[in-house]
Structure 1
Amino acid sequence: MVKSPLSFKDSRTRLVLASMVLSTLLTAAVLLLVYITANRTIEGETRSVVSAELTGLADEYERLGLVGLMVAIERRLPTASERDALYLLADRSGKTLAGNLKRWPEGIAAGSGWVDLELRRTETDQLVPISAASILLPGGERLLVGRDALARQQFDRVLFHSVALALGAALALSILTGWLLTRLVFSRLKDIADTAETIVSGDLSQRMPQRGTGDEFDQMAGTLNNMLDRIEELVSNLRTTSNSIAHDLRSPLSRLKQRVVALAEPGKSDLDREVDIARATAEIDHVLRVLGQLTEISRAEAGLGREQFEPVDLERLVNDAVELYEPVAADKDVRLEVTGRAAPIMGHRPLLSQALSNLLENAMRYAPEGTAISIELREDGPFALLSVRDRGPGVPVEMLSQLQLPFVTLDPARSDRNSGLGLALVAAITRMHGGGFSAQNADPGLKAVLKLAQKP
């Protein structure tokens, strides 16, 4: 069902509305602050000017008396219109003595502070809004000085309309910005969702699209693609493993069945029965060995055992393995040589020992008599590299990338001693330790390399 563009259940609509509301509120707060600040600044300046004029006229009164004050007011009147200045000097009864206002405002006592009111000007005979302050003179006269507030009210209206216009523009801009933002975000999400739907349908070769911008979406797509590469690899390995298990276990189980059936045959001698039992036991041991190795690979792939990670001294690990395999190597007339150094890593000691043992057994299987097997340790940035090299015939180039797959072996017969799971277990252990396994022909021989993160 297609959602309505205005539905509040649509995350795009909610995001646009949230962007609009937040942007509008922020703009309104800023414009309101500007409006209040401008009004307070103008009012403060007006009051300062009026207070200064009141003080000046009061000084004129003290120095020159009432007549001198009247002269001072009359002297200011020619320029009063330009300054929007208003003056009113009245006697005790409220009669106008000087100024450009007709009469003293009713209900306003002299010295009552700052007031906003309407009075009639003498030159225009019109009521005008004024803001004024007044004082009571020592002789009982009343003096009022103010400013015509009409211009200020017009300014307030212009400022208010400007603020409203700016707020409307900000609202429109926030809607446009929110729409563009959601279009950008949801178009990328739609690409990812469409690709994910294709992958869910079974096409594991699909990858999340990247636009080459290097932004967070590209980084996320890269991470997801790495995950998909790993999933595709695991699924491929699972298919190969399943097929190989069916192939490798069918033969020993069939032979085991034959041995069991043979035991029930009449006329069998005790010696023949013992031979059949021994062969059946060997088949069972082979099946158990394969299942045990598969279990170890599965546990390593799943990362089980990470809680048992501890500091592992690779040099000591190598020396212990060499000490263990030297007698076997001596029987085959093969030397074990150790070179290099590496700092300790955090790892699973038994599994690392198992991986090294598998490499040594594999190397000794193909090492010619009178040659050496080289074991090298070195560091490569945050990784420790442990390599084992024999001087044997090497591996066909097309097989190098398949050595770490389960049930892959150079021996087509897949003898009981080699089920093709040793290097698969080694690769799983290296991935568990944040690294990887690689093999390359060394001319002569094969060089297997374990790459282990020092801090997985």
Structure 2
Amino acid sequence: MDNLRLSFNNSRTRLVLASMVLSTLLTAIVLGLVYFTANRSIEGETRSVVSAELTGLADEYERRGLFGLLQAIERRIPTASERDALYLLTDRFGVKLAGNLKHWPADVTAGSGWVDLELRRADNDQLVPISAASVRLPGGERLLVGRDALARQQFDRALLRAVGLALAIALALSLLTGWLFTRLVFTRLSEFAGTAENIVSGDLSRRMPLRGTGDELDQVAGTLNSMLDRIEELISNLRTTSNSIAHDLRSPLSRLRQRVESLSDPSKSDLDREVDVARAAAEIDHVLRVLGQLTEISRAEAGVGREQFEPVDLQQLIGDVVELYEPVAADQGIALEVVGTAHTVQGHRPLLSQALSNLLENAMRYAPEKTAITITLSESGPYTCLSVRDRGPGVPEEDLPRLQAPFVTLDPARTERNSGLGLALVAAISHMHQGAFEARNCDPGLEATIKLARKP
């Protein structure tokens, strides 16, 4: 009993049984309609023929009297067996006058309508089932016309056997189909479950298996793999960020501790103490700046602020940012150029301004004097692209994928002003807008591109 209960609690068993029941029920309904329709059609045809023949014989009686009716019945008798036709004409007392039936049925009143009964044939004295209709003629005579129903009953039995056989075949096929379907689906689900268990155990490199069929299960597997890629990337960034925080904040916090401890040195002058306080404040500002940038990256990665999305005119946004940075660029001998147009996008205006500002600051850091930084707007498929290109030395190809990682800077002389979080924030803002961050060397210079989905 427990094993049976466990079997019914199994999803595969329930799915097979549900498929079998529904398929069998549908087949039974269809076959039942076929049987009912065929039966009604045959019965209707029989009644139409008998009614027409009965009406014809009654008309013959009206035109030629009883003698003419007798002749008409006698003419039909030789071919009656081929048509399963049955005739019986009696006088008002039930005495047989003509026909191929032996006697009038005792429980049938002439003119009572359509009847199904059993009578004996006059030619072979066999008791046969018949379907017939009768009339009482003006002279009191009784006329019964019908059809031998034995062939119809045999057809009914054959049709019922065929329906039963078809139903049994449908039941077997539905059981087989349900089993094959559940085997296909649950085999894939078992593969997914096994891969998920390995991932839960810590193997983040595992991915859902793809069979290359392009079916819905492959599409689900592809979506899950994309999600796992993103999760692995975020966890890797989290580990890198955690290690980098520990490394990058240790130095300023150590220096801050030294500054604070030096304040208690009685040999220091007031001026030296003021210098130490100023340097301690600078260290604190650096730590707060790093933590603030990390908070912005975390919020963008988590999608916090999507409820503030609004239509953003990127050309206007670029104009505002360029107007802000033009004086700084001019002091460095750098020109800012804007190229291209694009449709309005749904986005977070302040964060997009921050992303463009970070790209411009990064470009201005490496752009040679008397060169231009080009800001380009374009559209590519479902994305609107915002690119910033300088004419600097570029980046080694092997280092391009590392640009968007937190605390990564390719400047060996990194200072407090460059914590390596600017492009990481740009990448996080791109992901927040269902897009991506890309960088490529242009010889000369580096082009950094933000891809924004037009309908995030």
SS in 2 for 1:438: strand
- Aligned 1:255-404 pairs, distance under 5 A: 255-404=255-404
Q: Would you identify which runs of 4 or more consecutive aligned residues in structure 1 move more than 3 Å?
A: 2-6
Measured in 2, the distance between the counterparts of 1:4 and 1:139 equals 76
Query: Which residue identity lines up with residue 36 of structure 1 in the other structure?
Result: F
**More off after superposition, 317-326 vs 200-209:** 317-326
Worse-superposed segment, 418-427 or 125-134: 125-134
How far has the Cα of 1:6 moved from its partner? 7.0
Q: Which residue of 1 aligns with 2:160?
A: 160
Q: How does 1:53-64 map to 2 (within 5 A)?
A: 53-64=53-64
Question: Corresponding residue for 1:417?
Answer: 417
Distance 1:69 1:338, change over 3 A: closer
Q: Deviations over 1:112-146 (max 9, x none)?
A: 11111111112222221111111101111111111
Range moving further from structure 2, 317-326 or 136-145: 317-326
Deviations 1:132-177 (A, max 9, x none): 1111011111111111111111111111111111111111111111
Query: How far 1:30 moved relative to its partner?
Result: 0.9
For 2:95, the equivalent position in structure 1 comes to: 95
- Out of 325-334 and 92-101, give the one that drifted further: 325-334
3-state SS in 2 of match to 1:139 = coil
Distance (Å, rounded) in 1 between the aligned partners of 2:4 and 2:234:
41
Aligned equivalent of 1:44: 44
The runs of 5 or more residues in structure 1 that have no matched partner are none
Q: CA shift at 1:260, angstroms?
A: 1.2
What amino acid is aligned across from residue 439 of structure 1 in structure 2?
A: A
Once the two structures are overlaid, the 10-residue window that deviates more, 167-176 or 98-107, is 98-107
Question: Partner amino acid for 2:290?
Answer: V
Q: Tell me how far apart the structure 2 counterparts of residues 380 and 4 of structure 1 sit (CA, whole Å).
A: 58
CA drift at 1:75 = 2.1
1:390-423 Cα distance to aligned partner (Å, 9 max, x none): 2222212221110110000123343111000011
Partner-residue secondary structure (3-state), 2:60: helix
Partner residue in 2 for 1:25:
25
1:374–1:71 Cα change, 3 Å: closer
Q: Structure 1 residues 6, 88: closer, same or farther in 2, change over 3 A?
A: farther
Listed as ranges, the gaps of 5+ residues in structure 2 are none
Q: 1:225 corresponds to which letter in structure 2?
A: N
- Root mean square deviation, CA, Å: 1.6
- Quote the Cα distance in structure 1 between the aligned partners of 2:4 and 2:370: 80
59 and 338 in structure 1: CA distance in 2 versus 1, 3 angstrom threshold: closer
- How far apart are the structure 2 equivalents of 1:256 and 1:103? 127
Q: Is the 8 A contact 1:208 1:224 kept in 2?
A: yes
Q: CA deviation at 1:330?
A: 2.1
SS in 2 for 1:124: coil
| Distance apart, 1:5 and its partner CA | 9.5
* 1:311 and 1:345 in contact (8 A); partners too: yes
Shifted more, 195-204 versus 368-377: the winner is: 368-377
Give the conservation status (yes or no) of the 8 Å contact 1:73–1:99: yes
Give a deviation string over 1:83-112, Cα, whole Å, max 9, x none.
211111111111111111111111211111
Q: Distance in 2 between matches of 1:136 and 1:377?
A: 100
CA distance in 2, matches of 1:272, 1:4: 86
Greater mean deviation of Cα atoms: 161-170 or 332-341:
332-341
Residue 239 in structure 1 maps to residue 239 in structure 2: yes
Check the 8 A contact 1:6/1:13 in 2, yes or no.
no
Query: What is the distance in 1 between the residues matched to 2:75 and 2:455?
Result: 91
1:68 and 1:455 map into 2 onto residues whose CA distance is 91
Please say if residues 3 and 10 of structure 1, whose CA atoms lie closer than 8 Å, have aligned partners that are also in contact.
Answer: no
Give the structure 1 partner of residue 455 of structure 2: 455
Secondary structure at 1:7's aligned position in 2? helix
What SS is found at the alignment partner of 1:336? Answer: strand
Identity of aligned residues (%): 78
| Displacement of 1:345 | 1.7
- Distance, in Å, in 2 between the alignment partners of 1:392 and 1:297 is 27
Q: Deviation digits for residues 221-279 of structure 1, max 9, x if unmatched?
A: 11111111111111111111011001001111111111111112232211121111111
Distance (Å, rounded) in 1 between the aligned partners of 2:380 and 2:68: 99
Given that 1:20 and 1:174 are in contact with CA atoms closer than 8 Å, whether structure 2 keeps it comes out as yes
Distance 2:236 2:403 in 1: 14
Corresponding residue for residue 208 of structure 1 = 208
| Amino acid aligned to 1:157 | R
Query: Separation in 2 of the partners of 1:155 and 1:83?
Result: 16
Question: TM-score, normalized by length of structure 1?
Answer: 0.96
Query: Matched residues in 1 for 2:6 and 2:142: separation?
Result: 66
Encode CA deviations 1:416-440: one digit per residue, 9 max, x unaligned: 1100001101111111122111112
Q: Deviations over 1:317-374 (max 9, x none)?
A: 2222222112212222222222222222221111111111111111111122222222
